[in-house]
Structures are given as C-alpha cells and as structure tokens.
Amino acid sequence: MIKDRPAMVNYLYDLVERIGNCTYATLHLEYLEKYVDIQFVQWLVWLFTPIIIVFVFPFVLFILFFLSALFVRAYRYRYRLREAYNRDVWDGARNTLATAWDALGWLWHGYEIVGLENIPESKEGGALIVFYHGAIPIDYYYILAKAILIKKRCIRSVGDHFLFKIPGWNLLMDVCHVFSGSFQLCVQYLKEGHLVALAPGGVLEAQFGDEDYRLVWGKRIGFAKVAIEAQVPIIPVFTQNLREAFRSVKTGRRWLRKIYEKTRLPVVPIYGGFPVKMRTYVGTPIPYDPNISPEELAKKTAEAIEKMILTYQRLPGSIFKALLDRVYEKPKLKNI
C-alpha cells in the first residue's frame, strides 16, 4: 500500500488486485496463455469490431420498433377507459412516436424533406404516395413523422404480410395505420380522402436493390390500377442516400433469391446504420387521367422516380461521400 493515498483508495486498489489474482487462478489463464496469443486475439477483436457493429445496427433499429410497440401497448393500458369514448385516443401516441422518430432523423441523418407542400391537406382529399424501397425503409418513418407533425395527417401505408407475424407488432401496425394492402381496401381509403403510401418494389426491391438505385418493380402495376379506380393523383417520392444508410449483402444473392421466391420472407442479411445525409424529395403529383391505362400510369410513375434519382442521387452511391454530405454539399432547394 501507498501511505500518501487515503485508506479507502488503498482498500479499493487492494480489493481489485485480489479479485484479479483470484480470477487469473480460477480461470487457469496461465494455461490459456501457453496456447493462445492474447495480443493476437486482441488484434482480431480490434479488426472485426467495425464489421460487427454495422451488422448490429439493423438489430438496434428493430429494438427501437419493439420499444415503439411497447410504448403504444402501455399507452393503451393507461388510456383504456378513454378509448371507449374518444376516437382520437391514439393521436397522443402517434404524435409522441412521430416526435421521437423526427428527432432521430435530425440527429442521426441530418434529415430534411423537400416538397412537403406537394402532399395535399386534409380538405384536399386523398392521394397515393409511391416511393423507392431501401434495404430498410427508414426514410418512410421520417416522412410519416413529418406528415403527422407538420401536415397533421397520418399516412396509411401498405406493409408486407410478414410484418404482421412479428410478435408484439400488431398493435403498432394498427396505431400507425399499416395494413396488408388489398386492392379494395386501398381504393376505399383513398376514396375516403386518406393518404396511402406504398413501394411497388416491396421486399424484393429492398433485398435485391443496390447502390445503382435501379427500380425493381418488374410488371407490378397494381398501384396504378388503385389510383385510377380511386381517381386520385400519384405522388412520386425518393430519398437521397437511402441505400448508403443501410445495405443488403450481395454475397449469395442468386441462392437467396430462390429462397425468397419460395418463402416470400426477407432472407438477405442487412448491414449499416451509417449516419449519412438523407434528404427526401416529394415530387410533383401525377394527376388523375381517366384516359390513361394502368400500364401507362405505372410507366409514367417509374419514369418520374427515375428522373428524381438521376437528378438528386450520386450514382453509384458511395457511403463515404454520403457521410461527407453531412459536412458539406452544394446548396439546393429550400428544405424543411
């Protein structure tokens, strides 16, 4: 012991030393050191830590979803009596979640949205919002938050069937107006004056798209049929650097594509969570035209989004340059 130190500090130093000696003897680390190069192991940990982190971030995002689901469930229990008398009992929960996600977007991605005025007000009726699907559609969560907080409108969105099979998510999907997306239900919501959002590429585009930002829609024209039947405009939407925030693994895609075709489940691993600059562009609405066919309308919508990609997105996408966009980029449109 050192006499100049206080007695309590000496005691703590002595305790830590005893624990260390005890642990060393108990775990027989002297034998481990004979067969394992501890410094080499430490170097491996240092080397692979960044790789491990980028695969952990998507799981962190799912944890945030579970926390959101837990919040709305707790909110329901707290206001279970009001729910019987007040139709808008969930407005508080939606606004709370929207505020949290909006703050996350601002903090982690410097998120901005351009052209929010192209989304109609409540009195202006419904519209179909069509967007490009990233590996994780985190941009849509930010768009939804902006719509709730600024436009005072909750967008009803079409979600894949597997989302409703995740334990604990059903109530969250209900509160956020996510539905499975039947043709009749989409048309009904639009005719009632609601906003409906969907990504024609869906899970297929999410898993097998890449940094070239090519649309993976195939011959999907169901969304165009919905817009024509409901007689509403289509609003094209694209988010800059979406594929640089999260990416899907390219290795083994041909094999994974076969599994997806049989199971319709997201089987491609996702990595990322990079704090890149993200900016959403809400395009000029494509007005309802009774004389246009679903095929022509689908093509027109795809061309509108492809034009936005060519205008606003660096091709091919670069994670490093997208990170630099947080620091400096050329001034463009006025943002919100």
Q: Could you tell me if 274 and 319 are in contact, meaning their C-beta atoms sit under 8 angstroms apart?
A: yes
* Separation between Cα atoms, residue 159 and residue 179, nearest integer Å: 6
Q: Could you tell me if 327 and 278 are in contact, meaning their C-beta atoms sit under 8 angstroms apart?
A: no
* Separation between Cα atoms, residue 207 and residue 269, nearest integer Å: 8
- CA torsion 220-224-225-227 (nearest 10°) is 150
* Separation between Cα atoms, residue 48 and residue 38, nearest integer Å: 16
Locate all alpha helices (DSSP H) within the chain, ordered by sequence: 7-26, 29-35, 38-78, 80-83, 91-109, 138-146, 170-175, 183-191, 202-208, 222-230, 242-245, 253-263, 294-312, 319-324
CB atoms within 10 A of CB 216: 17
Lookup result for tokens 């409703």: 164
133 is catalytic: yes
* Separation between Cα atoms, residue 142 and residue 122, nearest integer Å: 19
One-letter identity of residue 235: I
The catalytically annotated residue of 109, 133, 177, 194 is 133
147 burial via Cβ count (<10 Å: 0-12, 13-18, 19+):
buried
Q: Could you tell me if 241 and 308 are in contact, meaning their C-beta atoms sit under 8 angstroms apart?
A: no
Cis check: omega of the bond before 269, within 30 degrees of 0: no
Task: Report the catalytic residues.
Answer: 133
